[in-house]
Chain A
Amino acid sequence: MSVAFFIIALLTLLSAVAAMTLRNLIHCALALAFTFAGLAAAYLQLGAQFVGFVQLLVYVGAVAILIVFAVLLTRGREPATQGIFSPKWPVGAAVALGVFGTLAGLLLSSRVLHHEAAAIAQAPVRQIGEQLMTHYIVPLEVLGVLLTAALIGAVILAMHERESDSPPPSKT
């Protein structure tokens, strides 16, 4: 087992746990950005350079910033004394543990997985671009339409409500 993989996995999992357990939401967002960067490092280590850089651009660059904006826009007069976990958290933790136990048990008992990588796999960007422009052109266009629809939908959803519905408090 390579040392690089071990370090990447450990840091990524630790920051994922931090993102899920910290009380301050901004700290959660920072830990999440670190988790995404760790995953990008894992992709790079696996030889998928393009996906690693896409992960950095989209997740660390866009999604983490979007989450920080959402945190800043939605934090208000909520009492800080409230617990951050749901009152029924043992049920959720038990479900997550059960899912992990099932997955890990199946993984470790499977016999088809225990073979090593044959050769050095490469994914040159030129080949990815050619495939995207020829074989995967229809899904690519559909994804463009989906992103446009999501953009318009997000703007419409986040627009201000009508004044008569719920007047925003003028207290600053």
Chain B
Amino acid sequence: MTSLDAYLLFGALLFSIGLAGALIRRNAIIVLVGIELMLNAANLNFIAFWRFGPHPEALTGIMFVLFSIGVAAAEAAVGLALIIAVYRHYRTANVDQIDSMKG
């Protein structure tokens, strides 16, 4: 059986990949995708701690992940709507060019 720290390392790698993508990509959609990857890495950690924790019958990790997935879905919908609204206004989805507060 795979031990807990392998799953946590997996989650840490996924989080770092998402963070790197959110920091260095120029397209706003890919920045949002990076944030989604980071959220998923956190979910993976919750499930791993639930599985290897002392009280798996309490189901707390499962519940937290279910609510986290729901909130992440709401976040993705609003974030993509924001990106579409910004694109309609600036005619670009490049986060380096969207730099004025009022325009």
Contacts and interface: CB of A to CB of B under 8 A. Distances in A.
Interface string B44-84: 10011011101011010011011101111111111011111
Per DSSP, chain A at the interface is: helix
Contact of A154 (B8, B20, B81): B81
Contacts of A36: 40
Contacts of B80: 66-67, 69-70, 154
A84 B71 contact: no
B12 A121 contact: no
Interface residues of A, number: 94
Interface bracket on B: 35 or more
19 contacts: A13-B17, A16-B37, A19-B37, A21-B21, A28-B33, A50-B66, A67-B32, A70-B84, A83-B26, A84-B26, A95-B20, A100-B12, A107-B9, A114-B3, A114-B5, A117-B3, A121-B51, A128-B62, A143-B70
A154 B78 contact: yes
B85 A71 contact: no
B10 A74 contact: no
A97 B9 CA distance: 14
Q: Is the interface of B mostly helix, strand, loop or mixed?
A: helix
B26 A116 contact: no
Given A116-B1, A118-B54, A54 B84 contact: no
Interface in B73-103: 73-78, 80-85, 87-89, 91-96
B69 A121 contact: no
B28 to A, nearest CB: 8
A104 B9 contact: yes
A1 interface: yes
